[in-house]
Structure 1
Amino acid sequence: MANFCVEMIEFHEDGDDGSPSSPLKFKDQDYEQIKKALLNGGGKFEDELFPANLDSLGELEGFTPEKFSEVKWLRPHELNPDAAFIMDGVSRFDFKQGEVGNCWFLSSIGALTFRKALMERVVPPNQSFKNNYAGIFHFKFWRFGKWVDVVIDDLLPTRKGRPVSVSSSSGKEFWAPLMEKAYAKICGSYGDMIAGRPSEAFKDFSGGVYLHYPLSKSPSDLWDIMDRAFQCRTMIGCSSLNGDRGKQIFKELGVVDGHAFAVTKVKQVESEGARVKLVRIWNPWGDTEWKGDWSDKSDLWETVSDENRDECLKVHDDGEFWIKMEDFLEYFEDIDICCNSPNFVEGDEHQWNSHSKKGRWEAGVSAGGYRNDRDDFWTNPQYRLTVEAVDGWSKGDKNIFVSLMQKHDEENRSKVSYHYIGYYLYKTAQGKLPSSVLLYVKPYTSFLSPTRELTELHSLEPGQYVIIPCTDGAGQTADFIITVYSKGEAKLQLSDD
């Protein structure tokens, strides 16, 4: 393990509640209390807050009224008398995507299976269909700075005896379908999980740092970044091209268009005297693979050493395949990397520290819009950032990572409409900046984006700065959390008037 892989300090602004060891109870449901009552009474849990009906199933693409009428909610032992929660550990090959278009979420679970400690946090152990079974299970997710414990029953939507959504590859193992149901509950329904980015699930699995790389303008050392990221036990996801070109590639080369995948490994091999950089990718469909160079049946595997071929090549229709880096850049659209710390970007040995503050844009009070709103911009919350010197740092080295996340109040994920958000960063020793300064001093800026979370790396000299998070228009109300990860020491505090 590379020595630049350090653990990030977990920050909880409001005390221990919401920590991994003391998560908040989602919808005030207490797993231990409910289970104890069920065991004493001999019943099986039926969740009234996420009932087994069509409201919880939600709107599903391609589902006709006839299909909806065929849906039955069954417990795992009704699908298989030998049902188990986990068999021989967890793996990306334990499950396959069903009729819900949530490949972004399932590919992210595939990436999560490589993070054993994190997996056990999200999927608490000691859950079973045998010992003390009461039809109740629970899972933990990170939500806007806090960990929450989500309770569910084990009634799964099925049609004609098969799960509507995620299914067990073996027909016996049900941790993945139940985990999906818990996430559907916090999203509002199964239908509310349709469409998304792996980075969203990565964040909710870890509360960690994520970086997004569009492959059309990726850094020249992206493969090295990916290599270091794997050494740091990251989660990596990618998306394929959409539109007419994506459909053509799907038809000719087998890469599903407009689809999310997990990146599961990188490997450099020697082929006919040349070094080839390879990327291993997994399709949550559980089948349908790349058919080009370095695919399972490619003759190019005969040009590498027996050791590399034995290590890498597994000719199975399991959705996982190798592709060389050049083809990956050409036929895929972007990549998301989520880790405990940004160290993998440059591979240095510095410890990164984390500082978070929660804030709110309030219409008429602290929602000043962006910099062109001359009269109101200064009313946005302002945060004082103190950057300390770091040994060995030189100008251009990335030493500050900023995350700005907005929180929505909508219970159904599909109905969320995010504001365009961004922030301005000023180098100044003043306290809270007045409009006269903000309008005429050139800031470091981030772009505005209609996203849940915006992230950006900076190279900042030691000194005093002010960060002003904002929306694209005055009067837009929302809660937000701003987090600064610093290489070395730094301080973040709300500026006084």
Structure 2
Amino acid sequence: MPGTCTSIINMRYQDGSEGSASNPAKFNNQDYEQLRDYHVRRQKLFVDSSFPPDSVSLGRLEALSGGMDRLVQWRRPKNAAPVFSSAGTSRFDFGQGSVGNCWFLAAISSLTMHKKLMGQVVPMNQSFDNYAGIFHFRFWRYGKWVDVVIDDFLPTIGDQFISVHAKGGNEFWVPLLEKAYAKVCGSYADMNAGLTTEACKDLSGGVPMSYQLHQVHDANHDEELWRSLSNATGCNSLICCGTASKDVGATHTGLVDAHAYSVTGVAEVQMLVRVLNPWGKQEWNGKWSDGSSLWNEVSREDRDKCVKRNDGEFWIELEDFCHYFNMLSLCCENPNFLDGDVTCQWKCMIYDGSWVAGSTSGGNLFRNTFYKNPQYRIQVSNINKTEVEDKNVLISLMQKGQHQNRKSAKNYPIGMTIFKTKQGRLRSYFFRSNRPIKQGQQYTYERELIEQHSLQPGEYVIIPSTSESHMSTDFVLSVYTKADAKIM
């Protein structure tokens, strides 16, 4: 098993500066400490006017169609003898509710296995003692950590909470965390359907990478995939996976179509992957499932890895994993998990930028306005020649969308082009006679585009762009370089 990854040297936020992990920015300019102290002194319960307990904050949930939304009442958990967390946090603490956000809860399940990061997202010094009806959580949003304040009104129908529920009945760290993320997204309904890569990014600020499992398996790259999974597990990554919308035969195996799961472990025996259903129940029933006779054929030590209980967690062989799941996402604090080189130090610089139509939005490379796009320079001084095509630079381009609410946000096709040159700002004539280091521009409508590069020593210019010049939006460019490279 690989060792622990080394840390990123983040050159944007010095520890203690606003937006850093130790001093997150205040979401909606709400100061948790001041608000809590105010309400405790006056013995009043906090009501969040920026995310009030009403139908707008709930949104139009698909599970509450046919007028059921009119039955919703918002209640505080005070009458349920509540606790924030009874004995730490565990992936077995909760089960999904009526919000279609398995993609987010799968990421939460993975987060619970990484206590340091968990403490960053979920401040554990909160409780219902000295009660004021106010809580807070932290998320990484577009290049910085933000602190999100909420009240503890939760949506109910009858006596049942319709959001994620604690299996113990009176533990509320997960329902409150879900509410905080709903506030960031715009409403509970805005959490319906999503990508685990998006949730993992917002819970860690790390480097996400996705694999199309069917393609990997068909290309006979199972060994490479297994190395990536092992590296990611050793580097404390958030790991999730998902099934296709209609996978042939999957419904007969206990798996759920179009559903997100978390990967909670791997075992060398038979290349087994441990997977958790965020429902907290309904498991795989094929080979190596809890009741499989194959566990009788391995050593007692390996047999003890299988815990026979209906908690949603199960083991599955890598070959079946690639067949029945269609997507795997990995997200780690730094890029070391990609090649398993856990001793390598990385630097990271994060830039805020904008494409503005008529000004800094130049469109794609074949437009004569391409030179107007923002340009960023890096210098690579060395490359590991003992490693074939050493991936010494990783670039993330993330667009912010055009609407505050997640589901309404409009994404544009974004891409980035890299040129090797010592020149200053590149003008239009440069692009008529010079070619980028990679032919064929890739554009994607997804929120984030990730590219890895093996760059020889020299100076380079990174040019992020939208596919057309009339598109205006903000973006965040993150450049990860191995310690022997320099960001200019």
Considering the TM-score relative to the shorter chain, is it more than 0.5? yes
Partner residue in 2 for 1:267: 267
Partner residue in 2 for 1:491: 486
Deviations 1:51-103 (A, max 9, x none): 1111110011132353112111111122x22x110011101111110111000
Give the Cα separation in 2 of the matches to 1:389 and 1:94.
Answer: 48
- The partner residue of 2:313 within 315, 320, 326 is 320
Partner residue in 1 for 2:231: 228
Superposed displacement of residue 361, structure 1: 0.8
Deviations 1:423-470 (A, max 9, x none): 011122222222233244221345210011110111111111111100
Give the Cα separation in 2 of the matches to 1:302 and 1:31.
Answer: 54
SS in 2 for 1:397: coil
Give the Cα separation in 1 of the matches to 2:423 and 2:215.
Answer: 37
Partner residue in 2 for 1:281: 275
Structure 2 residue 423 is the aligned partner of structure 1 residue 430:
yes
* Residues 345 and 143 (structure 1), Cα distance of their counterparts in 2 relative to 1, 3 Å cut: same
Give the Cα separation in 1 of the matches to 2:13 and 2:360.
Answer: 21
**Maintained 8 Å contact 1:50/1:185:** yes
Partner residue in 1 for 2:118: 119
Structure 2 residue 99 is the aligned partner of structure 1 residue 94:
no
Deviations 1:348-368 (A, max 9, x none): 232111122221111111100
SS in 2 for 1:413: coil
Partner residue in 1 for 2:337: 344
**Maintained 8 Å contact 2:13/2:20:** no
For 1:133-212, list aligned pairs within 5 A.
133-212=131-210
Deviations 1:253-312 (A, max 9, x none): 11111111101101111xxxxxx10001111111111111011111111111111111x1
Q: Which amino acid aligns with 2:276?
A: W
Deviations 1:127-154 (A, max 9, x none): 1112x21110000111111111111011
Superposed displacement of residue 409, structure 1: 4.3
**Maintained 8 Å contact 1:4/1:347:** no
Deviations 1:378-423 (A, max 9, x none): 1111111111214555441211111011112412111011011010
Partner residue in 2 for 1:9: 9
Runs of 4+ in 1 over 3 A off after TM superposition: 1-4, 390-395
Q: Which amino acid aligns with 2:65?
A: T
Give the Cα separation in 2 of the matches to 1:281 and 1:48.
Answer: 39
For 1:24-103, list aligned pairs within 5 A.
24-78=25-79, 80-81=80-81, 83-103=82-102
Q: TM-score of the superposition, structure 2-length normalised?
A: 0.95
- The partner residue of 2:476 within 481, 484, 493 is 481
Superposed displacement of residue 113, structure 1: 0.4
Give the Cα separation in 1 of the matches to 2:249 and 2:44.
Answer: 52
Q: Which amino acid aligns with 1:297?
A: G
SS in 2 for 1:257: coil
Superposed displacement of residue 10, structure 1: 2.9
Partner residue in 2 for 1:308: 302
Give the Cα separation in 1 of the matches to 2:36 and 2:57.
Answer: 22
Superposed displacement of residue 483, structure 1: 1.2
Give the Cα separation in 2 of the matches to 1:86 and 1:4.
Answer: 28
Deviations 1:16-40 (A, max 9, x none): 1111111111111111111111111
Give the Cα separation in 1 of the matches to 2:300 and 2:382.
Answer: 49
**Maintained 8 Å contact 1:403/1:454:** yes
Q: TM-score of the superposition, structure 1-length normalised?
A: 0.93
**Maintained 8 Å contact 1:262/1:282:** yes
Q: Which amino acid aligns with 1:357?
A: Y
Give the Cα separation in 1 of the matches to 2:278 and 2:4.
Answer: 31
Partner residue in 2 for 1:273: none
**Maintained 8 Å contact 1:4/1:343:** no
| Number of positions where the alignment pairs a residue of Structure 1 with one of Structure 2 | 479
Give the Cα separation in 2 of the matches to 1:4 and 1:110.
Answer: 20
**Maintained 8 Å contact 1:371/1:439:** no
Superposed displacement of residue 191, structure 1: 0.2
Q: Which moved more, 1:88-97 or 1:481-490?
A: 481-490
Unaligned runs of 5+ in 1: 270-275
SS in 2 for 1:62: helix
Give the Cα separation in 1 of the matches to 2:447 and 2:11.
Answer: 20
Give the Cα separation in 2 of the matches to 1:280 and 1:206.
Answer: 22
Partner residue in 1 for 2:444: 449
SS in 1 for 2:226: helix
**Maintained 8 Å contact 1:56/1:190:** yes
Partner residue in 1 for 2:251: 251
- The partner residue of 1:240 within 238, 243, 252 is 243
Identical-residue share of aligned pairs (%): 47
Give the Cα separation in 2 of the matches to 1:324 and 1:7.
Answer: 32
Q: Which amino acid aligns with 2:471?
A: Q
Give the Cα separation in 2 of the matches to 1:11 and 1:239.
Answer: 34
**Maintained 8 Å contact 2:251/2:257:** no
Give the Cα separation in 2 of the matches to 1:449 and 1:71.
Answer: 39
Q: Which moved more, 1:314-323 or 1:381-390?
A: 381-390
Give the Cα separation in 1 of the matches to 2:383 and 2:4.
Answer: 15
